[in-house]
Chains A and B, each alone.
Chain A
Amino acid sequence: MIETKQYTAGEELVNLFTANREMYNEGCPVFMNGAREAALEKFYKAGIPSKSNEDYKYTDLRPVFQNDFEVVPRYVEQSVDLHEIFKCDVPQLNSHIILLINGWYYGRNRRVGEFPEGVICSSLQHAANEHPEIVEKHYNKYAAASADPMVNLNTAMAKDGLFFYVPDNVTIEAPVQVINIMYSKENTLALQRNLFVLGKNSEARIVFCDHTLNENYYILNNLSECHIEPDSRFGFFSVQNQHNGAVNITSFFANVEKNALLDTNTVTLNGGVVRNNIKVQLVGEHAHANVNGLTLADEKQHVDNFISIDHAVPNCTSSQLFKNILDDHSKGVFSGQIHVFRDAQKTEAFQQNNNVLLSETAEMFTKPRLIIDADDVRCSHGATVGRIDEDALFYLRARGIGEKEARLMIMFAFADQVLSQIAVPVLRERLEDLVERRLRGELGPCQHCTLNNKK
């Protein structure tokens, strides 16, 4: 570990990197390190995003990078067994469980169940060295074009994360649960980089669970690239439950080929400042993407979902459904783009954003971005911002249901329209349970509810 001193804004991160370039390159193959330089240059020019960046209009990240934190460019052996101290709240998925700590693939991951032959589930850095023929083909192929400073910062400085490869014609039934833990003695900026590659006619689902295990100040910059080959089905579910002082910047790039299906759902239960960048490119005909999300925020939580779906070829379909329930002084942002390229005829793209404000002080900013360069398309979008339906509330109360319970029923019904889209019953039920507990105020960020499982 190096002493990073109190590096603050973008320039200092750049200085940190250039002063320690060797350490950042150490252990990574040339194709990873080569990508760092161009990304660093772009990051340097743009700096930490502020509101003058149109894509970050409602989410100024400068203040959150103002705090002191460490960046750790080497894997640190943990003195405790994370499997022992951490029990995630989304368990019983009957799934493979993979732990990552501060962005690094945990060295003592136990193998839970066997994967079918040919599947690779490992540290990205490890895979980049061991399986360069697969990793190099896809690494930074989808993120490289991004102008987002947070994406470029990740490419410049991230060294590890999860690599997941499913060969052609292989189906993995149980969801793979990936627990991203933030746990350190120091305030920490973690950079995690993941790559998922699904071969032809394969099927798998990954569930990310983001947690903070202690009160320290954390910024997680977590980027996943995902390549889905023809006729495959991939699900990516992100369950975010970090403490109110934590910053979670999650980027997800998906390249969806012919006849393939992508299902994503981002459920934000807790967090200080959360930004989800989701970019889906439908590049083969008859590809389909469901991009959904649910945010439950209160206190001063800030959650920004920034979505962009490219219909690059004809005959693809996409659907976005994002909902927010905002209480207290929380803020929600939804910005969803549908881009239909020239000649991407017969595109069907839908977008819906519905929001409920529970307090006078909660705020929601919603903005559709439609760029349609083909003429034979069906696109629609709609947004609502409202309060709990008082007539519905009275109806339930008039049947003897107490006000609190009646409110909960209405809120849960609203939220469940997102969760009910999840096609994996075991996952949907777990999430419904978590969301209900969150709405009841019985679910805190993880350091309050899971560490007490410590044996």
Chain B
Amino acid sequence: MLTIKNLHATIDGKEILKGINLEVKPGEIHAIMGPNGSGKSTLANVLAGHESFEVSEGEVTFLGENLLEQAAEDRARNGIFLSFQYPIEIPGVSMVNFMKTAVNEHRKHNGLEPLKASQFLRLMEEKKKIVEISSQLTNRSVNEGFSGGEKKRNEIFQMAMLEPKLAILDETDSGLDIDALRIVANGVNTLKTPENATIVVTHYQRLLEYIVPDYVHVLYNGRIVKSAGKELAYELEAKGYDWIKEEAAE
């Protein structure tokens, strides 16, 4: 589904990603862990099409097509979804209008008629249940005045609305209380099918108890320096990153 080969990316001339290789197949869940500043969000943003980052080398194919040539909106329509580490507040743009426009853009892309207002509202009601998000939030402007946890929940709500093929969840667990973590993780699991895939960026093994990964990768200094099964997450939780850094330095 997604193949990343030797991906290098820079911002303002500074190299952040220094040769990433990753293969994600349908149905898989990949966890990416790694110290602060190692490049996890950069990778997520590059995959989503953020134009501040320049890809200086390497290639990415998604569903058989060159992903790097596509504009951010086309990537989204083709099935990539980024749950932002820091979701953006957009005052004055209502959640309803935002989601309606997004859903209908996806439908148009798939050759479907736009949803009627009533159909859309029904869809929204249905998806709100998945992450137990309240109407008080969805009746407001996009993320405006949302708490940290509410923003994260809203990301997964949007994911539920758009049903992506590849979801990249960038620290969706940070800022969530214990109950919210379970609800959000359940939401992600509910949306999981054998056809779609998930990349979970996280610092904590705890999330991975709910969203059980097939692979755990450690990103350090712009490279994936270690990949293993879910047991690696436990090891990191217990030992920290120093041993990885030492291994990487060798």
Contacts and interface: CB of A to CB of B under 8 A. Distances in A.
A23 interface: no
A416 interface: yes
B115 interface: no
Contact of B98 (A390, A399, A402, A403): A399
Nearest to A413: B92
Interface string B44-55: 000011111000
B52 to A, nearest CB: 8
Interface stretch (B14-22, B23-31, B100-108, B172-180): B100-108
Nearest to B84: A395
A398 B91 CA distance: 17
Interface string A411-441: 0111011000000000000000000000000
B224 interface: no
A308 B51 CA distance: 44
A398 B49 contact: yes
B73 A397 contact: yes
Given A397-B49, A409-B97, A402 B87 contact: no
A398 B76 CA distance: 6
Nearest to A405: B101
Interface in A371-407: 389-392, 394-403, 405-406
A410 interface: yes
Nearest to B76: A400
Interface size bucket, A side?
Answer: 20 to 34
Nearest to B101: A401
Contacts of B42: none
Contact of A396 (B50, B52, B90): B90
Contacts of A390: 52
Contacts of A410: 90, 93
A403 B81 CA distance: 17
Interface of B: 48-52, 71-73, 75-77, 81-82, 84, 87-93, 97-98, 101-102, 105-106, 109, 141-142, 158, 162
What 10 pairs across the A-B complex have the smallest Cβ distances?
A413-B92, A400-B76, A397-B72, A399-B102, A395-B88, A400-B105, A397-B73, A413-B93, A400-B77, A392-B90
27 contacts: A389-B88, A391-B88, A392-B89, A394-B88, A395-B84, A395-B142, A396-B90, A396-B93, A396-B102, A397-B73, A397-B76, A398-B76, A398-B82, A399-B98, A400-B77, A400-B106, A400-B162, A401-B98, A402-B105, A403-B73, A409-B97, A409-B98, A410-B90, A413-B91, A413-B92, A413-B93, A416-B92
